[in-house]
Structure 1
Amino acid sequence: EKFKAEHDSHIGEYGSDNDQRLTGLHETQSIDTFSYGVSDRGASIRIPVGTVNDGYKGYLEDRRPASNMDPYRVVKRIVSTVNG
């Protein structure tokens, strides 16, 4: 739920032209919508089955950042959201 509240600020850090890529088609969520789900490749954040099976110990896959993003700014935004 922390990620949902910060969705717009995350999108601002996740690279340029995401409006063209995050359309809700082709295993992406719409740029205007935040969602998460177990093994859901169409969600903003995908939770792997292994993470769930291990009692939510593991990793999450944020599927929103583009390849042209600044990884330092993205990690800073994610850590800030998780710890905030």
Structure 2
Amino acid sequence: MAERFKDAGYNTLMAGKWHLGFVPGATPKDRGFNHAFAFMGGGTSHFNDAIPLGTVEAFHTYYTRDGERVSLPDDFLLQRSLRPPDEQLD
């Protein structure tokens, strides 16, 4: 779907959990998104320390922004949600 929108001239953004693959050809950018803020895997929790983010490489328990791995401060989601919509991509 994103590929078709991109081909039609739309700027595409994906934000959320990506569970469609990690190999070349399967990432958000490869699937047609101009920008992506993605949680790349599974097997972790945002709410307790059972398996903290970023600790099990095989589970891809980390976020990426436009394909680059990023770390997040504890209040990241709250702070981003309070920003005006036109600043969300900064």
What TM-score comes out, normalization by structure 1 length? 0.25
Question: Whose Rg is larger?
Answer: 2
**Structure with greater strand share of residues:** 2
**Structure with greater helix share of residues:** 1
| Larger relative contact order, structure 1 or 2 (CA cutoff 8 Å, min sep 6) | 1
What TM-score comes out, normalization by structure 2 length? 0.24
